[in-house]
C-alpha cells in the first residue's frame, strides 16, 4: 500500500492510480472549463447588485462563476487528495497561460482591411486586451489561492477525522479566497485605485466569493458522497508531500 495513503476508520481499498478513477478526469475538465470561462467571459464587465443592509455593490461579473472552481478544488482534495488536486491546479494554470498567450497573439495580428474586421478588432481588444499587470495578478492569485485552499482542507480533514465536511469546505475557502482576492486586487490595482476603493472592492468580492461556498454546501455534500461511493476512495493526506511544485499524485 502507498504509505502516503492512510485509510479512514473502517478501511478502504488500496489507492488507485489516476487512470483507474472513473470520474477524476471529468472533474478536472470541469474545473479547467470553469476557470477559463470565468476569466474570459464577463471578467472585464463591472456589474451592480443591491444587497440588504449593504446597499449597491459593484463587482466583476466573472465573480459569479469563479468561486465554482474552489468548490471543485474542495471536491478533488476531499475525495482524491491534495496531490491529485495539485495536478489539476497546474493544469488550470497552464490553461490560463495558454489563453493569455493566445489572446496576445490574436490581438497583435493585423486585422483584414474591411469594416467588419476593423470593428471586430476593437471589440476583441476591449474584451481580451487586459494589461500584463492584470494577467499576472490573475494567474498568481489563482495559483496561490488554490493551493492554500487545498492545503487547508487536507489538514482540516485530518484534524476532524473526516467528520463535519462543511467546516473544511467553508474554512478552506475562507483562507483560499482571502489570498486570491487580496493578491489579485493589490497587484492589479494598487496605485491606480484609491486605498479606500481598493479595500472596499476586496471586501465585497471576498464576501461574494465565500458566500458562494456556503450556498453550495448541500451540492458539495452530494457530489462528494457520490464520488466517494463510486470511486471507493476517501483520501487522507497524513503523509503527503505538500510541495506545490511537485507533479506526482502523492
> With 90 as the cut, is the pLDDT of residue 28 above it?
yes
Residue 3 lies inside a defined structural domain of this protein: no
Residue 179 lies inside a defined structural domain of this protein: yes
Residue 248 lies inside a defined structural domain of this protein: no
Q: What is the mean pLDDT of residues 186-211?
A: 85
CATH number for the domain including 157? 1.10.1760
Q: How far is CA 101 from CA 55, 159, 162, in A?
A: 39, 41, 41
Q: How far is CA 130 from CA 124, 192, 194, 246, in A?
A: 10, 15, 20, 30
Residue 170 lies inside a defined structural domain of this protein: yes
Residue 238 lies inside a defined structural domain of this protein: no
How many structural domains does the chain have?
Answer: 1
> With 80 as the cut, is the pLDDT of residue 5 above it?
no
Residue with the bigger pLDDT between 161 and 8: it is 161
Angstrom distance (rounded) from CA 28 to CA 48: 31
Closest to 220 in 3D by CA, of 112, 74, 92:
74
**Residues 242, 150: contact at Cβ < 8 Å?**
no
The string of pLDDT tens digits covering residues 73-83 is 999 999 999 99
> With 60 as the cut, is the pLDDT of residue 8 above it?
no
Residue with the bigger pLDDT between 29 and 37: it is 29
pLDDT of res. 4: 47
Angstrom distance (rounded) from CA 197 to CA 44: 17
Residue 236 lies inside a defined structural domain of this protein: no
Residue 10 lies inside a defined structural domain of this protein: no
Closest to 215 in 3D by CA, of 70, 80, 92:
70
pLDDT of res. 7: 45
pLDDT of res. 46: 67
> With 60 as the cut, is the pLDDT of residue 61 above it?
yes
pLDDT of res. 92: 94
For helices 24-40 and 67-80, the axis angle rounded to 10 degrees is: 160
Question: What does 22-77 look like in DSSP terms, one character per residue?
Answer: SSHHHHHHHHHHHHHHHHHSSTT-EEEEEETTTEEEEEEGGGGTTHHHHHHHHHHH
Q: Range of 48's domain?
A: 18-231
Residue 147 lies inside a defined structural domain of this protein: yes
The string of pLDDT tens digits covering residues 109-156 is 999 999 899 899 998 887 777 768 888 888 999 999 999 999 999 999
Q: How far is CA 167 from CA 66, 71, 211, in A?
A: 21, 13, 14
Task: Give the range among 54-68, 157-171, 211-225 with minimum mean pLDDT.
Answer: 54-68
pLDDT of res. 14: 57
Average pLDDT, the chain: 86
Angstrom distance (rounded) from CA 41 to CA 30: 16
Predicted TM-score (pTM) of the model is 0.85
Q: How far apart, in Å, do the first and last CA atoms of the chain sit? A: 13
pLDDT of res. 124: 86
Amino acid at each position: 500500500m502507498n504509505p502516503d495513503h492512510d485509510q479512514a476508520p473502517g478501511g478502504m481499498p488500496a489507492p488507485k492510480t489516476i487512470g483507474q478513477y472513473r470520474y477524476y478526469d471529468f472533474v478536472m475538465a470541469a474545473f479547467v472549463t470553469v476557470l477559463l470561462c470565468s476569466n474570459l467571459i464577463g471578467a472585464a464587465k463591472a456589474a451592480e447588485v443591491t444587497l440588504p443592509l449593504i446597499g449597491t455593490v459593484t463587482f466583476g461579473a466573472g465573480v459569479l462563476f469563479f468561486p465554482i472552481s474552489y468548490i471543485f478544488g474542495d471536491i478533488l482534495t476531499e475525495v482524491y487528495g491534495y496531490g491529485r488536486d495539485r495536478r489539476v491546479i497546474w493544469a488550470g494554470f497552464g490553461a490560463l497561460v495558454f489563453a493569455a498567450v493566445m489572446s496576445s497573439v490574436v490581438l497583435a495580428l493585423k486585422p483584414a482591411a474591411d469594416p467588419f474586421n476593423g470593428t471586430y478588432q476593437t471589440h476583441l481588444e476591449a474584451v481580451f486586451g487586459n494589461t500584463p499587470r492584470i494577467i499576472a495578478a490573475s494567474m498568481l492569485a489563482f495559483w496561490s489561492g488554490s493551493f492554500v485552499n487545498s492545503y487547508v482542507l487536507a489538514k482540516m480533514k485530518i484534524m476532524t477525522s473526516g467528520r463535519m465536511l462543511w467546516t473544511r469546505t467553508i474554512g478552506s475557502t475562507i483562507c483560499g479566497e482571502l489570498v486570491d482576492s487580496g493578491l489579485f486586487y493589490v497587484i492589479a490595482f494598487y496605485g491606480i485605485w484609491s486605498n479606500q476603493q481598493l479595500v472596499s472592492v476586496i471586501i465585497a468580492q471576498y464576501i461574494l466569493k465565500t458566500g458562494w461556498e456556503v450556498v453550495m454546501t448541500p451540492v458539495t455534500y452530494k457530489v462528494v458522497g457520490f464520488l466517494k461511493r463510486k470511486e471507493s476512495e476517501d483520501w487522507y493526506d497524513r503523509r503527503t508531500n505538500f510541495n506545490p511544485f511537485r507533479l506526482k499524485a502523492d
